[in-house]
Structure 1
Amino acid sequence: MKRLSWFNVTSLTLGFAFLYIPMIILIIYSFNAGKLVTVWAGFSTKWYGTLFQNEAFMNAAWVTIKVAVISSTFATILGTMAAYVLVRGGRFMGRTLFSGMIYAPLVMPEVITGLSLLLLFIGIGLDRGVLTIVLAHTTFSMCYVSVVVSSRLVTFDRSLEEAALDLGSSPWEAFRLVTLPIIAPAVISGWLLAFTLSLDDLVIASFTSGPSATTLPIKIFSAVRLGVSPEINALSTIMIAIVTIGVISASLVSKRNSLRSQKETQAAERTAE
């Protein structure tokens, strides 16, 4: 095993410190008793209680969670379908255009994406609200799901599907009973990635949201422009906790599925012997 050099250790330490020290400071000051976010005045959890009594923040949080769940679900379904077509479809007419349209949001500036969606919604006469935010988030997060699922399908052993087809399964049954359970960790990872992107989005949501639907990032941005309050620290801490729990859960699910797949493979090899 190759040992890390002092340069690598120093680089990693500085990198992690740059990323996580601000978050740690934010979490600590969310328990500050004083109103000033930069002066420690004692430990208190009162700002969490004040936050949950703030109706504007709670409504924005509910809209954000609802949009994130719906858009990530649609993005996962469409992204998985797109990945399956790209990997298993072979060469077909319009493949280059199709793949370009799928991956375009990866490199497209969010301002351009948000502005183009805004013009589309105005052109078709669709009022901005929860529906337009869901459509916008599904559009830009679908490509991320497609990339994650495609990487798993490329390494997928197609002989397992062929065996299921030989045993009498239809193509849909082979996909549902064989392919989908094996690529499930990638699908779950794609859903969590889409959920996180939707939860964090500010630019595209600012173009596609309306007065009746304001997401939490927009609400936080508007509040920060008037000054950072301890309530925002508490809200940010809760969001960090939610994302952390989601990442840990995804890692545990992926690890468990990987171990189960290894056990099934070993059992199949022993049976074949």
Structure 2
Amino acid sequence: MIPTIPQSRFVRRTYNAYIALFFIYLGLPLLVVAVFAFNDGQFPSLPWEGFTLNWFFGAERPMIGVFNERSILSAIGTSVFVGLSVSALSVAVGLSNAFLFNRYQFRGRGIFYVLMLLPLVVPGIVLGISILVFSSTAANAVWDAVKWDIEVLRPGLVLVVLGQFSFITTIATLVISARLQKFDRTLEDAALNLGATRLTAIRTITIPYLSSALIGAFVVAFLMSFENFNTTLMLVGSDAPLTIAMFDRLKEGSTPLLNAVSLLLMVGSSLLALAMLSFQRKD
């Protein structure tokens, strides 16, 4: 709806009702998940059996809580490790890509740009299978040739990091590029005229200007890595990140423990997003 165009009362009410229903559709499942994290029962379903915090802090089975469930805590630690690794790599390469595609003209630039965007349109499960097939084929070829088993090419955390990095770095590149396009390059020219080298000018002027975009790209990359499932499922080894651990638990039967984990994820993601927005407003 365009605010400047006069609308009848019926159209306005219909539009407002649509917006309300849309947000209810988005928020109601999350609310249900959050509510049943506090249900004093073995299953996240009606009837409501009372309020409890055991699914967070319980220490005795069958109602052992998130903070006392070693497998879940280990999976969270694995997800944090993978997320930080993917985020650091994505921001570093994304910064380089942003400078490459915004500052330089070279033959094949358009083709390389399309190739950079390609992982965004490839389904995650297809991307994971492709990486798994390629790495396994390479590992098997090396083993057949010299009897040397390259473990990093086998399913495990290294492949998970590389698999997520292959498409998350594109997001980081776009976030940083959007900020870099607004930069006034005459500031760098002024620094060069005052005797600074190109690297010094970029380090002292351009990078601080990009700081909000770098932090934003890092947070977005971390959140995308933390919640990724399709690509991770194809590449995971014995150390399962949280999404895979929750999927394995769900196959055994849903309990309010998974609701509690989901609630913590919602709160954590929201806090990270709010912190990022607050930082960008101050920039």
* TM-score above 0.5, yes or no: yes
Which of 219, 234, 239 pairs up with 1:192? 219
Aligned length: 255
1:271 match: none
What is the Cα deviation at residue 242 of structure 1?
0.9
TM-score normalised by length of structure 2: 0.86
What is the Cα deviation at residue 147 of structure 1?
1.0
1:245 match: 271
1:34 match: 41
Matched, 1:66 2:74: no
Which of 219, 224, 241 pairs up with 1:215? 241
Matched, 1:127 2:154: yes
For the residues of structure 1 that align with 2:17 and 2:192, how far apart are their CA atoms? 54
Aligned-partner SS, 2:240: coil
Aligned-partner SS, 2:252: coil
1:53 match: 68
What is the Cα deviation at residue 225 of structure 1?
2.5
For the residues of structure 1 that align with 2:192 and 2:14, how far apart are their CA atoms? 54
List gaps (5 residues or longer) in structure 2. Answer: 58-64, 140-152
Matched, 1:157 2:184: yes
Matched, 1:176 2:203: yes
For the residues of structure 2 that align with 1:241 and 1:148, how far apart are their CA atoms? 24
What is the Cα deviation at residue 123 of structure 1?
2.3
What is the Cα deviation at residue 96 of structure 1?
2.1
RMSD: 1.6
For the residues of structure 2 that align with 1:179 and 1:6, how far apart are their CA atoms? 48
Matched, 1:104 2:130: no
Q: Which moved more, 1:115-124 or 1:140-149?
A: 115-124
Matched, 1:23 2:38: no
Aligned-partner SS, 1:36: coil
1:116-161 deviations in whole A, cap 9, x for unaligned? 1101221232122111111111111000011111111122211111
For the residues of structure 2 that align with 1:105 and 1:10, how far apart are their CA atoms? 37
Aligned-partner SS, 1:124: helix
* Counterpart code for 1:164: A
For the residues of structure 2 that align with 1:16 and 1:189, how far apart are their CA atoms? 25
1:270 match: none
For the residues of structure 2 that align with 1:156 and 1:141, how far apart are their CA atoms? 24
1:16-69 deviations in whole A, cap 9, x for unaligned? 111111111211111111122112111110011222222221211111111001
